[in-house]
C-alpha cells in the first residue's frame, strides 16, 4: 500500500510540474490562440483517471484472471509428494523473503514456465507449469520458485502496473493535445465549435505512436526487474541453482510465451528486437549471475 501511495504522490507531483512548465512555456496560451479551448489542468486530471484506472483494475483482478486464463489449480491441501514439496519450498522462501505465504498453484503446460501475480506482496499467487516440474531437477525448480518469490518481494507486479498507468496517462494527454492542434490546423482555425473528424483520427494515430514508444520504456524496465529477480532467486536458492535453471531453459526450444503480465519467468523475444523484449537474453542473465561476487 505504501508503494502505491508513494507512486501516486510522485505522479501528482510530476503532473503539477508539467502543468507549471507548460504555463511557463506558454503552451496554454498557444493552444488558446489556436482555438482549441483545452484546459490543461483538467486534461491532465482526466488523462490520469483514464490512464491509471485500467492498470489498477487489471492489477486488482490479476490473480483471478491468472487462475481463469491459465487454468491454475491452487494447492489448498497437498495431494501428493510433489505438491507438498512445492508448497513447502514456497513457504520456506516466502518466509526468507519476509512476505506472507502466497497462494501456490500448478497449471497444465508442456513447456517449463512459471509466474507470480497479485495485488500486493502479501496477497500474491505463485504458479508453475507441469512441464517445469517434469523437465527440471528439484534444485532448478527451487531456483525458479525463488525467482518468482523475489518478484513478489520486490513488488514488481505493482510497480509495473503503476508504471504502465503513468505512461498511459501521458500518452493520452499528449495525443489529445496533438489531435486538437492538428484538427484546428486542418480546419483553418475557423470559429466552429467542437472538434472535427481530424481530431479523432489524429488522436488515435498519436496514441498508437506514443504508446509504441512508451512500450519501449516498459520493456526496458521489465528487463531490469528480471535481472533483479534472478539475483533474488540466487539468494534464496543458491547462485548455481539459479544458473542451472536458466541453462535448463536454454535447453528448451520453441518456448511458449505467457500472456501479458503472467510472463514472469518465461522467455520472450526470439526474433523480436531487444528493445521490445520483456526478458533479457538468457546468456545475459547467466553472465550477470556468474559475474556476481
Quick check: is 133 in a domain? no
- In DSSP terms, 123 is beta-bridged to 120
pLDDT at 198 over 80: yes
Residue 166 has a pLDDT of 86
pLDDT at 42 over 90: no
Residue 276 has a pLDDT of 81
Cα–Cα distance measured from residue 28 to residue 293, given in angstroms and rounded to the nearest whole number: 53
pLDDT at 262 over 60: no
Give the CA-trace dihedral at 36, 40, 41, 42, to 10 degrees. 40
pLDDT digits (tens, 9 = 90+) for 209-225: 999 999 999 999 999 99
The highest-confidence range among 9-13, 39-43, 160-164, 185-189, by mean pLDDT, is: 160-164
Domain ranges, residue 156: 1-69+139-293
**Percent of residues, the chain, with pLDDT higher than 70:** 78
Quick check: is 17 in a domain? yes
Quick check: is 175 in a domain? yes
Tell the residue number behind the cell numbers 510472463, with chain if given: 263
Nearest 5°: the CA angle 267, 150, 131 is 40
**Percent of residues, the chain, with pLDDT higher than 90:** 49
Q: What does the pLDDT average to over 17-34?
A: 67
Q: What does the pLDDT average to over 229-253?
A: 92
Residue 126 has a pLDDT of 96
Catalytic, out of 103, 142, 148, 226: 148
Q: Residue 74's pLDDT band (boundaries 50, 70, 90)?
A: very high
Query: How many domains does the chain fold into?
Result: 1
Quick check: is 74 in a domain? no
Quick check: is 130 in a domain? no
Question: Mean of the per-residue pLDDT values for the chain?
Answer: 84
Quick check: is 76 in a domain? no
Quick check: is 21 in a domain? yes
Q: What is the largest CA-CA distance in the chain?
A: 76
- The pTM score is 0.83
Quick check: is 106 in a domain? no
pLDDT at 289 over 60: yes
Residues 144/233, Cβ–Cβ less than 8 Å: yes
Q: What does the pLDDT average to over 250-277?
A: 56
pLDDT digits (tens, 9 = 90+) for 134-155: 999 999 999 999 999 999 999 9
- 148 belongs to the catalytic site: yes
Q: 67-76, 108-117, 181-190, 276-285: which range is least confident on average?
A: 181-190
pLDDT at 293 over 90: no
Cα–Cα distance measured from residue 75 to residue 106, given in angstroms and rounded to the nearest whole number: 8
Residue 141 has a pLDDT of 96
Amino acid at each position: 500500500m505504501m508503494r502505491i501511495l508513494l507512486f501516486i504522490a510522485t505522479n501528482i507531483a510530476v503532473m503539477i510540474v508539467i502543468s507549471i512548465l507548460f504555463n511557463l512555456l506558454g503552451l496554454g496560451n498557444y493552444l488558446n490562440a489556436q482555438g482549441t479551448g483545452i484546459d490543461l489542468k483538467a486534461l491532465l486530471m482526466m488523462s490520469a483517471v483514464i490512464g491509471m484506472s485500467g492498470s489498477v483494475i487489471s492489477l486488482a483482478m490479476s490473480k483471478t484472471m491468472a487462475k481463469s486464463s491459465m487454468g491454475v489449480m491452487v494447492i489448498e491441501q497437498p495431494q501428493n509428494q510433489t505438491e507438498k514439496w512445492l508448497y513447502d519450498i514456497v513457504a520456506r522462501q516466502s518466509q526468507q523473503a519476509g512476505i506472507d505465504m502466497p497462494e501456490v498453484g500448478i497449471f497444465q503446460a508442456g513447456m517449463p514456465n512459471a509466474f507470480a501475480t497479485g495485488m500486493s506482496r502479501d496477497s500474491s499467487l505463485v504458479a508453475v507449469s507441469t512441464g517445469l516440474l517434469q523437465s527440471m531437477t528439484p534444485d532448478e525448480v527451487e531456483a525458479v520458485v525463488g525467482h518468482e518469490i523475489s518478484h513478489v518481494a520486490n513488488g514488481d507486479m505493482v510497480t509495473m502496473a503503476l508504471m504502465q498507468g503513468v505512461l498511459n496517462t501521458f500518452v493520452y494527454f499528449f495525443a489529445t493535445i496533438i489531435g486538437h492542434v492538428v484538427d484546428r490546423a486542418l480546419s483553418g482555425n475557423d470559429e466552429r465549435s467542437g472538434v472535427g473528424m481530424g481530431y479523432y483520427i489524429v488522436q488515435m494515430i498519436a496514441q498508437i505512436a506514443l504508446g509504441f514508444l512508451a512500450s519501449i520504456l516498459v520493456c526496458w524496465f521489465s528487463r531490469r526487474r528480471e535481472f533483479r529477480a534472478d539475483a533474488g532467486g540466487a539468494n534464496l536458492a543458491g547462485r548455481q541453482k539459479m544458473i542451472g535453471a536458466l541453462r535448463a531453459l536454454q535447453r528448451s526450444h520453441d518456448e511458449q510465451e505467457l500472456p501479458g503480465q503472467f510472463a514472469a519467468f518465461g522467455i520472450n523475444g526470439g526474433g523480436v528486437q531487444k528493445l521490445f523484449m520483456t526478458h533479457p537474453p538468457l546468456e545475459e542473465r547467466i553472465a550477470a549471475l556468474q559475474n556476481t561476487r
